[in-house]
């Protein structure tokens, strides 16, 4: 029994890691209707920013954390300016956005390799690594903190979207860009804000990953899993992204723990297909009219 509980905790913690990434990605999807594959790159840069702010400038963790989040937000916004806006102005189909995003992702990874180098970097220790013990079950301190920070940032995001005027505009833009423009919403501004928010979330995720898993140029690859999680939950739906991520984390963990760790990803894939056959736009997907 304790082994099962331990596995559930493992699954929740892995799932919350996925969730933090999936939400930023899903947020952009809800407005732009394309998979922003550069999200992983932004996370990676966020992680490096946090690392250098803490080591080179010796800033305290909290300050570095906030600055890295803002920095990643700015990066995401500039990416939108450079790589996506020209496409948007031309009403290009979503394929082009994806390719542009992939180019950005290759670019970001390799510019880090070329300038900073491929060496793994370890964050200075901020939190003790001794876990909380509950009988046989251990919960990592960093995991608990991550869970908390992800929770708080997600709640802030929900607040922005549900309670502010900008949030209203984001929701209406997500519903239909054209209609919102006609209703007087400045969609350029909304897209700017959405990318900024997505970037800030990526920065937060980056710093937390960096602390947990060290920093290296390929750290953005973990986002592949969160894309799958977001599809699981339904693209463009924030609660879907969270639920999909937690589910994927738990399913992966249980498969590895009780079935086969060698074939874990295969089983996760079969499950994904099964969910999509049952519900073609994920568990809580946004129903989109045919735009392609």
Partner 1 sequence: MGWYYIQGILILSGIYLMAVLGLSLLTGFTGLFSFGHAGFMAVGAYTTAAMTIKFNVPFILALLIGGLAAALVSLVIGKLTLNLKGDYFCIATLGFGEAIRLILDNVQYFGGARGWPGIPLKTGLMNVIIFNVIAVVILVNLIKSRHGRNLQAIREEEMASQIIGINVFKYKMISLAISAAYAGIAGGMLAHYTGFLQPKMFQLIKSTELTIMVIFGGLGSISGSIIGAIVLTSLPEVLRAFDRWRLVVYGASVIFIMITRPQGLMGGYEITITNIKKLISRITSLGKKKHTIGGDN
Partner 2 sequence: MKKRAFFLLISTVIILSLLVTGCSPKPTEPAAIDEPTEDVDVEVVNVGWIGSLTGDQAVWGNCEFNTVKMLFEEINENGGLLGKQINVIGYDTRGDAMEAVNAVRRLTSQDKIVALIGPNASGQAIAISSVLEEMKVPGIATVATNPKVTVDDNGQVKPFNFRVCFIDPYQGAVAAGYAKDVLGFTKAAILYDVADDYSQGLTEFFEMTFKEKGGEIVAKEGFKFGDVDFRPQLSKIKEANPEVLFMPYFFKEAALSANQARELGIDAVLMGGDGWPSEVLIEMAKEAIEGSYIVNHLDFADPDVQDFKATYTAKYNLPVELNGYLAYDAVRVLEQAIQNADSFDSVAIRDALKTVSVKGITGQINISADTHNPEGKDAAIIKIVDGDYIFQQKYSAE
Nearer to partner 2, 164 or 218 (CB): 218
Question: Which residue intervals of the chain are DSSP H helices?
Answer: 2-32, 39-55, 61-79, 85-89, 94-115, 141-163, 165-175, 177-182, 187-213, 223-233, 238-258, 264-278
User: Closest approach of Cβ 160 to partner 2, in Å?
Assistant: 30
The whole-angstrom separation of Cα 59 and Cα 66 is: 11
Q: Which does 120 bind (CB under 5 to 8 A by kind): partner 2, partner 1, none?
A: partner 2
Min dist CB 164 to partner 1, Å, is 28
Concatenated DSSP letters of 103-127 = HHHHHHHHHHHHHT-S--BPPPP-S
CB 24 within 8 A of CB 206: no
228 binds partner 1 (CB under 8 A): yes
Q: Is 124 in the site for partner 2 (CB under 8 A)?
A: no
Binder of partner 2 out of 78, 218, 274, 279 (CB under 8 A):
218
Question: Which of these ranges, 55-63, 95-103, 180-188, 249-257, lies near partner 1 under the rule CB under 8 A?
Answer: 95-103
Shortest distance, CB of residue 65 to partner 2, whole angstroms? 20
CA distance 243 to 223: 16
Residue 222 lies near partner 1 (rule: CB under 8 A):
no
CA distances for 103 relative to 39, 124, 272, angstroms: 12, 32, 27
Residue 127 as a binder of partner 1 (CB under 8 A): the answer is: no
115 lines the binding site for partner 2 (CB under 8 A): no
Question: Helix 2-32 and helix 187-213: axis angle, to 10°?
Answer: 150
Query: How far is it, in rounded angstroms, from Cα 173 to Cα 187?
Result: 7
Q: Name which position in 66, 102, 126, 145 contacts partner 1 (CB under 8 A).
A: 102
Distance CA 75, CA 61 (A): 21
List the structure tokens of 128: 């003790």
Please give the residue ranges that form the binding site for partner 1 (CB under 8 A).
29, 33-35, 82-83, 86-87, 90, 92, 94-96, 98-100, 102-111, 113-114, 224, 227-228, 231, 235, 262-263, 265-266, 268-270, 272-273, 276-277, 280-282, 288, 290, 292
Please give the residue ranges that form the binding site for partner 2 (CB under 8 A).
3, 6-7, 10-11, 13-14, 17, 110, 113-114, 117-120, 122, 129, 131, 136, 138, 140, 209, 212-214, 216-218, 221-222, 224, 252-254, 256-257, 261-262, 264-265
């Amino acid at each position: 029994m304790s082994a099962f509980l331990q596995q559930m905790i493992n699954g929740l913690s892995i799932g919350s890691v996925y969730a933090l990434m999936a939400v930023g990605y899903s947020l952009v999807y809800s407005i732009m209707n394309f998979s922003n594959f550069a999200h992983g790159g932004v996370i990676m840069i966020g992680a490096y920013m946090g690392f250098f702010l803490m080591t080179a400038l010796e800033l305290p963790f909290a300050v570095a954390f906030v600055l890295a989040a803002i920095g990643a937000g700015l990066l995401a916004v500039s990416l939108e300016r450079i790589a996506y806006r020209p496409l948007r102005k031309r009403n290009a189909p979503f394929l082009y956005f994806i390719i542009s995003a992939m180019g950005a992702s290759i670019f970001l990874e390799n510019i880090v390799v070329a300038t900073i180098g491929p060496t793994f970097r370890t964050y200075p220790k901020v939190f003790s690594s001794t876990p909380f013990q509950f009988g046989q079950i251990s919960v990592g301190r960093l995991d608990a903190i991550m869970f908390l920070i992800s929770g708080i940032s997600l709640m802030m995001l929900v607040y922005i979207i549900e309670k502010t005027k900008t949030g209203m505009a984001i929701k209406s833009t997500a519903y239909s860009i054209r209609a919102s423009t006609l209703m007087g919403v400045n969609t350029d501004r909304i897209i700017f804000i959405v990318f900024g928010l997505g970037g800030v979330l990526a920065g937060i995720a980056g710093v937390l990953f960096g602390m947990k898993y060290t920093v290296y140029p390929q750290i953005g690859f973990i986002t592949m899993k969160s894309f799958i999680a977001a599809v699981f939950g339904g693209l463009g739906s924030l609660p879907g992204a969270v639920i999909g991520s937690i589910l994927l984390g738990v399913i992966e963990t249980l498969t590895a723990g009780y079935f086969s760790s060698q074939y874990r990803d295969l089983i996760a894939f079969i499950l994904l297909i099964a969910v999509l056959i049952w519900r073609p736009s994920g568990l809580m997907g946004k129903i989109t009219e045919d735009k392609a």
